[in-house]
Chain A
């Protein structure tokens, strides 16, 4: 399947790109970080906000870039709502596994979409930009 086929662009990627989830700066912040891809202009600003308990956190984001960059950030933030630090590390670890090996059929639809992006290796940096930010933020997660 090439990049422009309908199953990709009319699907969840385009939805997450046009209506990104958790696309806001939270009023209360625990930590924040940003990542840029200066070769193409993609940039994401990821915010770590408090969760429902002191040991939990949620991600929000702002940014601009190509559809894969924004959709990836939106999917990531959707997976990291009201999570503990161990769970956040687990999500990051799951991304690394899905990115290197693909998603399996038992994974949630969000992971299936992320796994599907592996077929665009030239856009790898676009997809991974938000997750690079998470690698930094996970150390600031509430405990």
Chain B
């Protein structure tokens, strides 16, 4: 049973955790690997001339190689960051400085997470560019016809999510990448949800950048990855200065280290990177086709169960591109109150805007509740949630 691999559920078998889109629980092997590093391997990396430091460096760079192999990238194309948000900020700042001119356009979608909107708004302000948004169709899929008219000769950057954290659908990123290439624009894929559910081959996708966090894919918090094509990373100025990113520093000026260090200023999150490597090793032993089918099955069970509740509106249109996330609103129960009652029943769900305020406006609700099943959830978890929803109706209606 996959659930047994996670200490959280061994410690607390009664817990129903249905918020994996916010962060995933961690398997013991990831926790143990980080514990091992801190207990027996801890030293700074790329600095010490003693064995312990060299061992730490080997473990750290070994994690990078693990990530690179998993993504079908070269080691030097894997930049460790604090997470998806920092990775996107890095591209918006540095690629923006290298590639954007006044009047250029950055194209996003209305369904993006704030972390894939705000950095671009900042970049647009900084470099005199304009941000435009691809709308959704009535079925809540990306409007590719509209995208064709929005992505044009002024488009320099196109950025969108691999999977929407609210709608739970995989965007047609291959089609959008092709549109971007046809006008010479570079692409960034926000893979925060994607890498947790799908095998990602950045060469096959042929995106220019791919960003994700470790903590949604069984890894620790505080570590993430920016994949970038080497030619772009070479052309981009550094994002932050100091630490490993330097080659030489004088009072008159400094020169930069080679990739990937050029974009890894300061002492990295060594344990985090090693934990991320362990998380990828954990995922390599999973049949992602089966786990995705599992998540979808639980999502379908939930959608069926929600039909019992007349006040519930779901914002999900399940199809082959849906990963099982269910976002919904109750006409008479505020999402915060619903989540609070769920908490009383030991059921963890998310309530609020899910860092997607523009999407909430498109859906015409200020806030919603979200259930995100994952591989360690079971049918009884869905039934526990439905029971909590019944209790909420008893209290509030």
Contacts and interface: CB of A to CB of B under 8 A. Distances in A.
A39 B368 CA distance: 10
Interface secondary structure of B, over-half rule:
helix
Interface in A103-135: 120, 123, 126
Nearest to A38: B366
Interface string A48-67: 00000000000000000111
B367 A123 contact: no
Contact of A9 (B334, B344, B352, B357): B344
B341 A9 contact: yes
Contact of B353 (A2, A9, A40, A126): A40
B341 A4 contact: yes
A68 B344 CA distance: 16
B130 interface: no
Contacts of A14: 395-396
Nearest to B391: A4
Contact of A126 (B336, B341, B344, B395): B336
Interface in B312-359: 334-337, 340-345, 351-353, 357
Contacts of B351: 40
Contact of A39 (B340, B342, B344, B357): B357
Dominant SS among interface residues on chain A: loop
Contact of B352 (A3, A40, A120): A40
Contacts of B340: 3-4, 9, 67, 120, 123
Contacts of B335: 40, 66
A5 interface: yes
B10 interface: no
B365 interface: yes
B367 A2 contact: no
A10 B353 CA distance: 27
Interface string A6-38: 000110001000100000000000000000001
Interface centre among A4, A5, A18, A38 (most CB of B within 10 A): A4
B366 A4 contact: no
A4 B345 CA distance: 7
Contacts of A68: 336
Contacts of A67: 334, 336-337, 340, 396
Nearest to A67: B337
A4 to B, nearest CB: 2
Interface in A42-100: 42, 65-68
A17 B184 CA distance: 56
Q: Which of A10, A42, A66, A120 has the most CB of B within 10 A?
A: A66
A2 B336 contact: no
A41 B395 contact: no
Interface band, chain A: 20 to 34
A38 B334 CA distance: 14
A120 B340 CA distance: 10
Contacts of A41: 334, 365-367
A10 B334 contact: no
B341 A39 contact: no
Given A3-B343, A5-B344, A14-B395, A39 B337 contact: no
Interface in B349-385: 351-353, 357, 365-367
Nearest to A40: B367
Contacts of A66: 334-337
B18 to A, nearest CB: 15
Contacts of A120: 340
Contacts of B343: 2-4
Nearest to A65: B334
A123 B395 CA distance: 19
Contacts of A18: 396
A122 B357 CA distance: 18
A102 to B, nearest CB: 20
A4 B342 contact: yes
Interface centre among B341, B365, B367, B396 (most CB of A within 10 A): B367
B352 A39 contact: yes
B52 to A, nearest CB: 41
B135 to A, nearest CB: 21
A35 to B, nearest CB: 14
A140 B369 CA distance: 39
Given A40-B336, A67-B334, A9 B395 contact: yes
A119 B343 CA distance: 14
* Leading 10 A-B pairs by shortest Cβ distance: A4-B344, A41-B366, A3-B340, A66-B334, A66-B336, A40-B367, A4-B341, A3-B343, A67-B337, A4-B343
15 contacts: A3-B340, A4-B340, A4-B341, A4-B344, A10-B395, A18-B396, A39-B367, A40-B336, A40-B351, A41-B366, A41-B367, A65-B334, A66-B337, A67-B337, A123-B336
Given A4-B341, A65-B334, 12 more contacts: A3-B341, A3-B343, A4-B340, A18-B396, A39-B357, A39-B366, A40-B335, A40-B336, A41-B365, A41-B367, A66-B336, A66-B337
